[in-house]
Amino acid sequence: MEKVRLTIDGIEVEVPSNYTVLEAARLINVKIPTLCYLKGINEIGACRICLVEVERAKSLQAACVLTAAEGMVVHTNTKAVREARRMNLELLLANHDRECLACVRNRNCELQKLAEEFQLDHIKYARNKKPQKVDLVSPSIVRDPNKCILCRRCESVCHNVQTVFAIGESGRGLHTSIGPAFEKSLAEVPCINCGQCIINCPVGALREKDDIEKVWEALEDPDLHVVVQTAPAVRVALGEEFGMPVGTRVTGKMVTALRRLGFDKVYDTDFAADLTIMEEGTEFLGRLNNGGKLPLITSCSPGWIKFCEHNFPELLDNLSTCKSPHEMMGALLKSYYAEKNGIDPSKIFVVSIMPCTAKKFEAKRPELSATGYPDVDAVLTTRELGRMIKQTGMDFAGLEEQSFDSILGDSTGAGVIFGATGGVMEAALRTIYEIVTGKALEKVEFEEVRGLEGIKTAVVPVGDFKVKVAVAHGTGNARKLMERIVSGREEYHFVEVMGCPGGCVSGGGQPIVSAADRLDYDPKVLRAKAIYEEDKDMPLRKSHENPMVKKVYEEYLEEPNSQRAHELLHTHYEKRKKII
């Protein structure tokens, strides 16, 4: 590609001709502040915080949308630049709800950080917007328009990455707002509760529906037996809430912290992931051998399930009927576990620690109540668990490492890789291959379904049969893949979809990483790397080898896809209103 030379703050730099001044400045360690900017997603120059001065230009320019040009001379720290950035920041703060101490994003807010860096000690502009109603109706997401700074990052992610179109811009001038059309609640539009808007919001305008007090009340109720389970992606992200590097594995410390919080049992959702592979693998082979509906589409992501219900109802019969792993676990806790321990299932309170805000919506689906009680009673995000631990004053980094409780806490490496895109497919292939061929895999890794390419396809030999598989992550990529399948342009036997980009490791409930930090590293990559490292360290790496899964089938479920397994571990779906 053609290169251009420009000078930034007296330093000459050569960059590709398609680079912006913001990108060029980063190459020479010149920091230009940003707020609305999300690389590759929201590059609109709306906030004007990244203004720079270009010699011979008639006005200041937004560095995030200004293309580098040959001979350009840029200044990032002149008096005019500083004053303009400061004024724009003050204008943003004028209409912003500045109750910072009571905000969930306190000390992790990009606007707050800029105010500190610019040393703002007062705001000279008066507020000219009336307070707006906070949207509390959604079971997953709270939207507070009083904190919105109109950066449009949430809108861009919802439209361009997820293609959900649940929120957008309305009004003009002072009356501009970002939210659902016609002032509806997020619960009244086809929002899929994925929470990608939350983790991309620079302030506290979007947050998860907080269930911490509900869980504290359950823990303090002497009549309740409170059981907690943790998803695979939580263990590679929770440490970030305590200042640890992104991708640090904290499995043992997390278990210790949960015990200290007062949970009666601490179980691993990875066990239910292994169980899911047994049920879903059997379902796939049944469809394949008996002329069933193909492709079979895996269904562990509740955001994706709701997206499919809205946008591709013709594919609902293709979805695996298996519940997601944490719902399977909840059903087992209120049946098998309750019977084994002589506990009334009505007295068992199941808490799921998830990387996902959509799980909060999922837990309220009426069909997910196999025993007559909700399979899962409360869902906390990784961030919420971090806040609970902080409330106790625990030194998380200094905790000793403990193990999950057995039987429902025992899992394999196949269970843990559910947290990354391609993980469910890989776990299924490990088991399906050995069941069909009766031979042990020489190499358990299926590299062809790993990685961050939006849509991955492969042909995997399984005995004499070649299984055509596809993997998509992010519902925008899933939409493209489903359109190809519906049109008949492409045919597959087995398809995995994760609702969030990168899979659960980047779920809407995970620790928030600023846009500036994401220019230096990709949390999806680092967390997924930790997931695969945990898989490698496991003594067993295939779901069908899990002795505790075998034990549960022998003692209770009989065999995969049995009548009892279907009653407890499987579900159904519904056609919902389509938006586009």
Q: Beta-carbon neighbour count of residue 320 at 10 Å?
A: 24
What torsion, rounded to 10 degrees, do the Cα atoms 511, 517, 518, 519 define?
180
**What is the per-residue pLDDT for 173?**
83
CATH number listed for the domain at residues 3-93: 3.10.20.740
The fold adopted by the segment(s) 134-209 is: Alpha-Beta Plaits (3.30.70)
Q: Are 194 and 500 in contact (CB under 8 A)?
A: yes
Residue 165 identity:
F
Per DSSP (E only), the strands in 17-167 are 51-54, 61-62, 73-75, 141-143
- List the catalytic residues: 280, 283, 300, 320, 359, 362, 367, 504
Looking at residue 210, the DSSP 8-state letter turns out to be P
H, E, C per residue of 350-393: EEEEECCCHHHHHHCCCCCCCCCCCCCCEEEEHHHHHHHHHHHC
Question: What is the pTM assigned to this prediction?
Answer: 0.96
Given a contact cutoff of 8 angstroms between Cβ atoms, the answer to whether 475 and 162 are in contact is yes
Burial degree of 406 (CB within 10 A; 0-12, 13-18, 19+)? exposed
DSSP 337: I
Counting as low any pLDDT under 50, the low residues of the chain are 580
| Contacting residues for 421 by C-beta, under 8 A, at least 6 apart | 451, 452, 471, 473, 496, 498, 502, 503, 528
* Other CB atoms within 10 A of residue 405 CB: 18
CA–CA gap between residue 351 and residue 226 (Å, rounded): 7
pLDDT at 580: 46
pLDDT, one tens digit per residue, over 134-162 is 999 999 999 999 999 999 999 999 999 99
Q: Domain 213-569: which topology?
A: Rossmann fold (3.40.50)
Task: Dig out the tokens for 25 from the structure.
Answer: 């400045």
| Strands 465-473, 494-498: pairing kind | parallel
The pLDDT value recorded for residue 579 is 54
Listed by start position, the domains of the chain span 3-93, 134-209, 213-569
Q: In this structure, how many other beta carbons lie within 10 angstroms of the beta carbon of residue 53?
A: 18
Tokens found for residue 71? 């001979």
**Residue 168 and residue 163: Cα distance in Å, rounded?**
12
User: What is the secondary structure of 398-429 as a DSSP string?
Assistant: GPPP--PPSSTT---HHHHGGGSTTHHHHHHH
101 burial type by CB count under 10 A (0-12 exposed, 13-18 middle, 19+ buried): exposed
C-alpha span between 503 and 237 (Å, rounded):
13
Q: Name the helix (H) or strand (E) containing 455.
A: strand 455-462
Beta-sheet strand order (sheet of 348-354): 265-268, 225-230, 348-354, 378-381
